[in-house]
Amino acid sequence: MQSGPASSSKPHLRVLLCAPRGFCAGVVRAIDAVEQALALYGQPVYVRHEIVHNKYVVEGLKKKGAIFVEHLDEVPAGNAPVIFSAHGVPKSVPEAAAARNMFAIDATCPLVTKVHREAQVHFKKGREILLIGHARHPEVIGTMGQLPEGAVTLIETAEDARTIVPRNPDNLAYVTQTTLSLDDTAEMVEILRQRFPGMAAPHKEDICYATTNRQEAVKKVAPKVDAMVVVGAPNSSNSQRLREAAERAGCSLSVLLQRAADIDWNSFSAITSLGVTAGASAPEVLVEEILDAFAERFTLDVETVTAAEEDVFFPLPRALRPDAAE
């Protein structure tokens, strides 16, 4: 591949930049919650689990004084704030925090909280609940943990949907993780609806607006490019779903990257077009870092492809609003 300081010596690369991409309102709220807690109450601020699934974000907050833990028993006695991550937590976590008189702040995304409330309503109505999602993901653990053990059955695959044997097939409801593949989820829901026509559904789809919009943008871009880069973390569900969406839409070279240092340049040596997006927990600075890395090797022609306009805003938890510490 040609290279050199002069732009004329670099191969041309058409870049289609997906919009929207990157931070969603729930992620902005969660990060702002940690920063505002530090501003109002000082160091340290404890955060249970990664506030969002992005190493760059977490490391930046650590430098500002946030301490990340996986379990509340790692938090020493005192009045330092303890923040629950955007993914949500089982009911047992705030109960344990209350038992220790902790200053707990819930930064769960409001759209995840919506799913929790739906599950609770279905349970009160005596329905068996099917949760479409990924085992061991913190959001799924949190949703299942809203109700007694056995009240929620996890559906991970279309095969699960075909073979699940409910206790009462005539009294079912389903909810979903907010960061799933639109296509996978639609397939599983359709299988379940055909098997259980009376199954209660969410009043509004549980997959959040940000997941939907980012996947739709990828579907517009992926068929038009030789390769797709998704900026995001390996443990970010919505980022993984974006990579899969690009592959399904016809882009055979679709990679998930955390930083520019992760780029395998051999994979991109022959491309003339590139799609770029970012998961909902990936900051724009990392998108710019990766574009800068490509600009060192290619002459970029960047075009934005927009699937939707976003203006969603979620206010901070009450304990973090400007007059909270007065």
Annotated catalytic residues are 139
Q: What are the structure tokens assigned to 264, written together?
A: 């395998």
Cα–Cα separations (whole angstroms), residue 169 to 194, 196, 197: 12, 6, 9
Q: What are the structure tokens assigned to 315, written together?
A: 């206010």
Q: How far apart are CA 57 and CA 282, in angstroms?
A: 8
**85 neighbors 313 (Cβ within 8 angstroms):** no
Alpha helix locations (H) across 146-202? 158-163, 182-195
Contacts of residue 284, defined as CB under 8 A and 6 or more positions apart, other chains included, come to 21, 22, 23, 278
Q: What are the structure tokens assigned to 35, written together?
A: 């920063």
Question: Partners of 130 in the beta sheet?
Answer: 153, 174
Q: What are the structure tokens assigned to 116, written together?
A: 């929790």
Q: How far apart are CA 293 and CA 198, in angstroms?
A: 53
Cα–Cα separations (whole angstroms), residue 141 to 27, 37, 106, 132, 157: 19, 25, 16, 12, 17
Beta strands in 120-165 (DSSP E): 128-132, 152-155
Contacts of residue 1, defined as CB under 8 A and 6 or more positions apart, other chains included, come to 11, 269, 297
